[in-house]
A and B are shown apart, each in its own frame.
Chain A
């Protein structure tokens, strides 16, 4: 199919597409198909391509929003990763590489003008062969899987559509005229009127699949009357303008297109054509796709997008439904189309009556949506909003609100620019108009492009303005009630919009957060839930977190934790979960007795979402030691340990996270052991959930500092599990596993022997020294510092060239890394050869710089490293020239005895090397 595409499309040169109508139609079809792909086939969309699609993109980092990581140099990576941890989308301008349909769909869902360009660039990149091949494969495969039908049930067939007939006619008209080389006298449609679906045949013929009729006069034969139907083209008995019914009869075999028919009927044309064959073959193949042999073109579908067509081809359930629609409900379909016509042509009164009539239909029925989309009714409805007539606005909005529950209609409204009109009427003076508009927006913003459109047209601040209703929500008088109702719809719309990160920011900028704080006092449940829902979404933004705290919302949130409504409690607990990283917020939660409320939620083990939210909030609140004490009173630790079994992962992540905080207190480490928490924890090390693994390793890290715990951990063979986590592709898991290994190695019995018996353990550590993640590097240095305490293991590490690897890291920034790097160097220097090797690798000048670090830990571990290095006389020479002696003398006054001794010894080593010089320089200030 990929090759077909290259044939069908019109190429101007090797790798450029012409800007013809045909090509842009193709591009648009592809765009629409890809756009909906991930929504229609979520599973297939995740399948990786055999090779990534790559092309030169005009996209830049700012085009991407959520779900993408953007670095400073403008490179973008998707957060979606394949099994090997490679991002499925990578952009380093201008090269883009995409590895599944999911990401392609995302690209096509971006609301900007670049979409078509991207499709074109992608096709010109010649990589579409894979994609389309993949696509057809996918269709066949999933079709067969779903219905157990073998390929025999399918034929690969071409179906004409009006646009292609148009192209062909245009092309053939190029042959017309009276000159010598002309082969045709004329090519005409029988009717100039074109239905919105592109067909020209009367409606009752469209049901038969016929699209239009042509009258072609060749020079060498009689006039040809041709019917173009979806199945192909054939001669009829002479349909002219409004022929009698008999004239529509088929009078020849079916040809696949007009050119073929002409070739067959007109000798002259055939001869002439062969000379121009190369030029015209492009018209011979409209996009092919699979469909049932019996399937016929149905009115209203002729112009439907490729995407929905190809859908229908392998979703059998859709097929009968669609056919039925045209046989059982044709009258409704046409009635709605007729009403839309009135809507276009009517004055105020007629419009009102038509809206009234349109409301009488079943707005949820598929026919209604189809008719509305097909007749352009959606556009008319949104245009009505521009009229300054409240009644008409209300009528139109009522219909829009109800039909926006349908996904395809939603997309159609947004694609037609209707959302902009709806956003604009939010400024109306009429409260009902505002409320209905907000409600419609709430329905429409279920997908990303819609949310972006709302923001683009300033909808967020308009919606935020609606929230400004009564000053005291607890006591609302009759007059304010209406305002509160409007505010409620505003809140619903914002809730839906707040799923996009940039909208969260916009809500905050529009001053929405303080208004939400006021609404939080409302006693109405249908107001509170969406309000807290918005807060939960917004709490991803740092600035919003602060606002939630400073606006005094914590108190209300805590109070609502004791509400009877579970959904409300879930949202409240989630807000606290997200905000409690702030110390002041944690204190406020405690002051408002929120901790007790959270603890009482732990009993609700049947509601998993609530459990996840509550344990999350407890986790973050336990970051404060005084909160830990409160939790201690309620025996939360014991409860949490009980939750380690039989809970889903989203709860476990938080439970274990909380345990990691609890385990920072020595007494709690003992409790964890005594309550039998270590065993279930170690079992969790085999999982695949990355955040969970990070938290589990943190608990292990904390527990391993207790010797009794360590004995159990070793018994459970946990070190092996933790070590194997270094193979995990996620750098966060890698580093947190490495940090957990440090106390394990330190406190394990016969640690050196244990490490050396772990197969491939040290290779893993060495490999990760090549990581690009600074945290990983720091943790690996820490692990090396622990491993290298064992002479034998140090020898192994040295064989793996640990020295040169560590030396390479010395110019990296970051205090944490430098601190552990210096420790690792110090530890590795216990081997004499390594000391010299480090010196040769040039680490000393870098270490000399570390001495100026503002971090005391870095300075101290550097002194230790320099001390070890100074045992090699060559290093002393470099140290001396780097001027380390003076700062070292300062360290001789350090409080830490080890540092003091190391500094003194180091200075001594340097001085011993320069007996003569030191005497000579006694008078110079250099030493």
Chain B
């Protein structure tokens, strides 16, 4: 992809995205095509799920398969099974610089596996199924169920035995740390691979992550 094309694309996208400036958008797009170029020669201009997930693992330290699949679905807004350059920049916008409200929306969307606007008990169990490793022969499944039950009981404010968006939002507002309650789905400040972006953007990212968390706000 020529430099000029990237610049033009960046110009168009940066008008729609207010959290990155044009240079940054340019960096992100260049990165997008760099990843694309390494692995494909078919001339497609979109990332498929496999490649996208490898980025999530390598650059952002996400490991949970269930969650990563959902992150891909969340990025892929038009449901065509590919992430386009525009979807890429828009997705990263929340990923890297989202406000608390945007992140709540994003996380809820990730955790709502079935897409029915509710997080059900079974969905939680699926996401956290490997979270305990007890000593000895004890079966961790009962313990995990117990833990999920406690969490669900505490977050379910309207007592309908499942988490609506409002339930989830209220809980996170009360205590910010439960934003990623059912599995990491946002990048962690320390898990950023320093090869991720160009050096110019790198300094930017650093700043962003330093003041990322909004605690007790």
Please give the residue numbers on chain A whose beta carbons come within 8 Å of chain B beta carbons, in ascending order: 338, 341-342, 345-350, 352-357, 359-360, 388-392, 394-395, 429-432
* Interchain CB contact (< 8 A) of A350 among B132, B135, B190: B132
CA–CA, A390 and B190, complex, Å:
10
The answer, yes or no, to whether B35 is at the interface (CB within 8 Å) is no
CB-defined contacts of A353 to chain B, threshold 8 Å? 128, 131, 147-148, 150-151, 181
Q: Are B150 and A357 in touch, CB under 8 angstroms?
A: yes
CB-defined contacts of A431 to chain B, threshold 8 Å? 215
CA–CA, A506 and B215, complex, Å:
31
Q: Which of B156-190 contact A (CB under 8 A)?
A: 175-184, 188-190
The answer, yes or no, to whether B98 is at the interface (CB within 8 Å) is no
The answer, yes or no, to whether B99 is at the interface (CB within 8 Å) is no
CB-defined contacts of A390 to chain B, threshold 8 Å? 188-189, 213
The answer, yes or no, to whether B144 is at the interface (CB within 8 Å) is yes
CB-defined contacts of A354 to chain B, threshold 8 Å? 147
Q: Are B177 and A356 in touch, CB under 8 angstroms?
A: yes
CB distance from A814 to the nearest CB of B (A): 62
- Given A342-B147, A347-B130, A357-B147, are A429 and B210 also a contact pair (CB < 8 Å)? yes
- Residue in A closest to B190 when the chains form the complex, CB atoms: A388
CB-defined contacts of B151 to chain A, threshold 8 Å? 353, 356-357
The answer, yes or no, to whether B154 is at the interface (CB within 8 Å) is yes
CB distance from B16 to the nearest CB of A (A): 27
Q: Are A350 and B131 in touch, CB under 8 angstroms?
A: yes
CA–CA, A360 and B140, complex, Å:
23
CA–CA, A353 and B155, complex, Å:
11
CB-defined contacts of B140 to chain A, threshold 8 Å? 345
The answer, yes or no, to whether B40 is at the interface (CB within 8 Å) is no
Q: Are B213 and A430 in touch, CB under 8 angstroms?
A: yes
Q: Are B177 and A395 in touch, CB under 8 angstroms?
A: yes
CB distance from B94 to the nearest CB of A (A): 18
Chain B, 190-217, contact with A by CB distance < 8 Å: what is the 0/1 string? 1000000000000000000010010110
The answer, yes or no, to whether B81 is at the interface (CB within 8 Å) is no
* A/B interface sample: 9 pairs, CB < 8 A: A342-B147, A346-B131, A346-B133, A352-B180, A390-B189, A392-B177, A430-B213, A430-B215, A432-B213
The answer, yes or no, to whether B1 is at the interface (CB within 8 Å) is no
Q: Are B132 and A342 in touch, CB under 8 angstroms?
A: yes
CB-defined contacts of A392 to chain B, threshold 8 Å? 177
Instruction: Name, among A348, A355, A431, the residue most crowded by chain B CB atoms within 10 Å (CB to CB).
Output: A348
CA–CA, A353 and B175, complex, Å:
12
- Residue in B closest to A396 when the chains form the complex, CB atoms: B177
CB distance from A401 to the nearest CB of B (A): 12
The answer, yes or no, to whether B8 is at the interface (CB within 8 Å) is no
* Interchain CB contact (< 8 A) of A349 among B135, B175, B183, B190: B183
CA–CA, A390 and B148, complex, Å:
22
Q: Are B143 and A352 in touch, CB under 8 angstroms?
A: no
CB-defined contacts of A429 to chain B, threshold 8 Å? 189, 210
The answer, yes or no, to whether B134 is at the interface (CB within 8 Å) is yes
Q: Are A352 and B178 in touch, CB under 8 angstroms?
A: yes
Q: Are B181 and A394 in touch, CB under 8 angstroms?
A: no
CA–CA, A388 and B184, complex, Å:
14
Q: Are B177 and A352 in touch, CB under 8 angstroms?
A: yes
CB distance from A924 to the nearest CB of B (A): 90
Q: Are A350 and B147 in touch, CB under 8 angstroms?
A: yes
- Residue in B closest to A390 when the chains form the complex, CB atoms: B213
CB-defined contacts of A389 to chain B, threshold 8 Å? 188
Instruction: Name, among A353, A354, A388, the residue most crowded by chain B CB atoms within 10 Å (CB to CB).
Output: A353
- Given A345-B135, A432-B216, are A356 and B181 also a contact pair (CB < 8 Å)? yes
Q: Which of B96-145 contact A (CB under 8 A)?
A: 127-128, 130-135, 140, 143-144
- Given A347-B131, A430-B213, are A394 and B177 also a contact pair (CB < 8 Å)? yes
* Interchain CB contact (< 8 A) of A356 among B134, B175, B188: B175
- Given A390-B213, A432-B215, are A345 and B154 also a contact pair (CB < 8 Å)? no
- Given A353-B147, A356-B154, are A348 and B184 also a contact pair (CB < 8 Å)? yes
- Residue in A closest to B146 when the chains form the complex, CB atoms: A338
Q: Are A394 and B215 in touch, CB under 8 angstroms?
A: yes
Q: Are B210 and A359 in touch, CB under 8 angstroms?
A: no
CB distance from B86 to the nearest CB of A (A): 31
CB-defined contacts of B189 to chain A, threshold 8 Å? 390, 429
